[in-house]
Amino acid sequence: MNSGSRLLLSRRGFLAAASGAAMSLPIRPARGSAIDERTLRAAPSQARLTGPGGPSTPTWAYSDTIPGPVLRLRQGRPVRITVENGLAEDTTVHWHGIRLPNAMDGVPGMTQPPIAPGSNFTYEFTPPDAGTFWYHPHADSLVQLGRGLAGALIVEEAELVEFDRDLIWLLQDW
């Protein structure tokens, strides 16, 4: 349908609109060019295991959340995760199911020294496979897992895949 009217847009107006649209796009580093940096802090915490009105229970948590924060990484993109130990005992982090350099596997006394209380360790690896994984300690595993130290680790495809919904379930037995 032609109404006979013309839409006039000045060059200046076009550039302003285009730059506004471009600024709304997410900023993503060039593929493989940047290291994804994260920090996890293992420390004593409190949780209401029976719901918001329930009693507060002493726990251990990564970055003060139980389960620990969901770590979303990208397949083929290097990551550097510094783990700070705020516990009164040694700890490590094992990246369950991730193919990575042996020195980054998180087994104390075998692949790395344990992370002493008050110190930290930096894990560096590039996830080769997309998938759903989890992270947890390998130092005094039963006690540390039992107190809450675990989290979901999602490695997204190098080229994003469309999906309807993303639900993550991490179950812990108290």
* 130 is a domain residue: yes
CA angle 97, 121, 109 (to 5 degrees): 70
Whole-structure pTM over 0.85, yes or no?
Answer: no
Contact indicator for 60, 86 with CB cutoff of 8 Å: no
Residue 145: inside a domain: yes
CATH code, domain carrying 128: 2.60.40.420
Range of the domain at 63: 36-156
- With respect to residue 162, please indicate whether it lies within any of the assigned structural domains: no
pLDDT digits (tens, 9 = 90+) for 92-124: 999 999 999 999 999 999 999 999 999 999 999
Answer whether 101's CB lies under 8 Å from 111's CB: no
